[in-house]
Amino acid sequence: MTIQELYEQSIKPLSTADRYQLATMILGDIPPQALVDYRDEWSDEDLKDFNRENWKRIETDPEYEYDG
């Protein structure tokens, strides 16, 4: 059984309150170190990667149009 099938067959039919309780239990069971660190700051390397990939898209995407 896939996660989608489990959700459709077992979770979705539950009441909203039960689904909320289940979601709270699941999220509470995930250790903090398992979460990705989404910081509000970008490193210099992040900015370079972002700019490089965007320029690559602009240069190669025939559908791209500048809105500026």
Digits of tens for pLDDT over the chain (68 positions)?
A: 899 999 999 999 999 999 999 999 999 998 877 777 677 788 899 899 999 998 888 888 777 676 65
Residue 61 sits at φ, ψ, to 5 deg, of -90, 110
Per-residue tokens: 36 = 């990705």
The 10 Å Cβ neighbour count of residue 15 is 8
Identity of residue 37: D
Look up the pTM and report it: 0.47
Identity of residue 7: Y
* pLDDT score of 32: 77
By three-state DSSP, how is residue 15 classified?
Answer: coil
- Quote the CA–CA distance of 10 and 30 in Å, as a whole number: 21
Domain coordinates of the chain in residue numbers?
Answer: 3-60
E strand or H helix at 66: none
Average pLDDT, the chain: 86
